Amino acid sequence: MPLNCSSLATKVPHTLGGLKTTATTTTIHVGGGGFFNLFSKTHQNNSLYIASLSLNKRNSSQRYCLSSSSSSSFVMEDTKDMVFSTLEPGKYSKELDIAVRAVQMACFLCQKVQESLISKTTSQLQAKDDNSPVTIADWSVQATVSWILSETLGSRNVAIIAEEDVQTLSKADSAGLLEAVVQTVNDCLAEAPRFGLKAPGTSLGSSEVLEAISRCNSTGGPNGRFWALDPVDGTLGFVRGDQYAVALALIEDGEVVLGVLGCPNYPMRKEWLSYHHRYHRIISKLTPPTSESWDKGCVIYTRRGSGEAWMQPLIQGHKKLVWPNSATPVKVSTIENPALATFCEPVEKANSSHSFTAGLAHSVGLRKQPLRVYSMVKYAAIARGDAEIFMKFARAGYKEKIWDHAAGVIIIQEAGGVVTDAGGRPLDFSKGMYLEGLDRGIIACAGAKLHEKITRAVDASWNSSSL
């Protein structure tokens, strides 16, 4: 479509979803009294960029994508089915845009499965290994995210290490389970355009869904680029209608470069984090969210070196994701006094020694009750400033998996916090599936002073502990 118009440009500083940029707002007048409102952002090195363009002509509202190289020629395309990014072009910006949208979709999928779980009686729930609906969420999210990453970035460019495999799903007696997963995946992917992503032309068949899950067969390691995905982190929290997370990180040459954490039940009123989930559900019912109020659920994301982490609400109902989707920055707490600090730890005693952390807490002067929260939501709580410390000391011999930490670690670091093992060393994401060489446990803090106090206390009490 050729453009023949007069234009008026104004330069405005702008911040969009965590990426500072100088934006140019241009009004382009066209024949017949109509006009386009053009919002564009220039790339530092003048390479190709994409700008959003709205046509506000009488009785007409349509979205176009306008791309330009350093030359003045423009190409306009209808963007109904395109990934539409307003992130500043730069390293990993396309990947971050897609990852946030994919995690938004995954949260939408999980919410639906969790709602149907909660509406059933406990006796209808099965353990994860028994082909439960939880497993349906795990596999379905993995298939959905894998499919989206491959379609948008090209399957040859995408390597994923993730928690699930297809062994159980592929068994002859798992036909019903597989059918449920395929249905859940297709129901979710059909909504892709609402999230600014392209839906499949036709529904995926079971072999395509299995293919998408089993494509997540990267073994990680020190070289190249791969995604680490935990489709449903905090299985117990998920089953119990409580906290859980969808975690996606991009790791390049052994270093986490992007982190996206979906926390569908994260309450926007922090005091609700510490309520038992049943009370939280009752309170939510008593005060249902209005379309204006943001009750719970967010996606937090960051990019290595940005010094910023951002949070968006989940897309509710039939709404569309319009970037930056009311994103707000998140920052760690400024509290340095242990007496005022809150520490988080796993809910399950089997996952981390509660007695050891109680002793540590006492010795450093932590006075508040521990905040026990399922899943990587603990990392989100530190990044958002809702708690100051996260400690985890697993039993000897347990090896932490990289997908249980990658997204959360980078989000806390970019939000201003410190994450190391108990020896003060950075977590090593370059050794394959596990955080090999982890010294004793994981300590994440809002600031360096608290971090130092905790690591010193661990050193002082470790030898007398039974861990």
Contact 315, 321 (CB under 8 A): yes
Locate 308 and state its tokens.
């910023």
Residues 6+ apart with CB under 8 A from 442: 390, 391, 392, 400, 405, 419, 420, 421, 422, 427
400 lies in the binding site for Mg ion (CB under 5 A): no
Q: Is 242 a binder of ligand PPS (CB under 6 A)?
A: no
CB of 139 to ligand PPS, least distance (A): 13
Contact call for residues 251 and 225 (beta carbons, < 8 A): yes
Segments in 55-132 forming alpha helices (H): 93-118
Report d(CA 381, CA 67) in Å as an integer: 39
Q: Would you call 184 a catalytic residue per the annotation?
A: no
Cβ proximity to ligand PPS, 196 vs 346, nearer residue: 346
Residue 393 CB, nearest distance to ligand PPS (Å)?
Answer: 9
Tell me which DSSP letter residue 427 carries.
P
Binding mask 404-423 for Mg ion (x = CB under 5 A): x-------------------
164 lies in the binding site for Mg ion (CB under 5 A): no
CB of 246 within 8 A of CB of 230?
A: yes
Is residue 230 a contact point for ligand PPS (CB under 6 A)? yes
Q: Find the shortest distance in angstroms from Cβ 408 to Mg ion.
A: 11
Q: Is 152 in the site for ligand PPS (CB under 6 A)?
A: no
The catalytically annotated residue of 184, 235, 420, 455 is: 235
Nearer to Mg ion, 388 or 404 (CB): 404
CB of 142 to ligand PPS, least distance (A): 12
Cα angle value 20/304/189 (rounded, 5°): 85
Residues 219-278 that bind Mg ion (CB under 5 A): 230, 233
Q: Which of residues 325-384 bind ligand PPS (CB under 6 A)?
A: 346-348, 350-351, 374-375
Shortest Å, Cβ 401 to ligand PPS = 7
The residue among 28 and 427 lying less far from Mg ion, judged by its C-beta, is 427
Select the binding partner of residue 190 from Mg ion, ligand PPS, none (C-beta < 5 to 8 A, by kind): none
Q: Which residue has the tokens 């270093």?
A: 255
Can you say whether residue 234 is alpha, beta or left, with left for phi > 0 and alpha for psi between -120 and 50 degrees?
Answer: left
Among the residues of 54-170, which ranges form H helices? Answer: 93-118, 133-153, 167-170
Q: Among 18, 234, 259, 267, which residue sits at the site for ligand PPS (rule: CB under 6 A)?
A: 234
For residue 187, indicate whether it is catalytic: no
Query: What is the token pair recorded at 249?
Result: 């990180």
Contact set with ligand PPS (CB under 6 A): 230, 233-237, 346-348, 350-351, 374-375, 392, 394-395, 398, 404
Active-site residues: which are they?
Answer: 138, 235
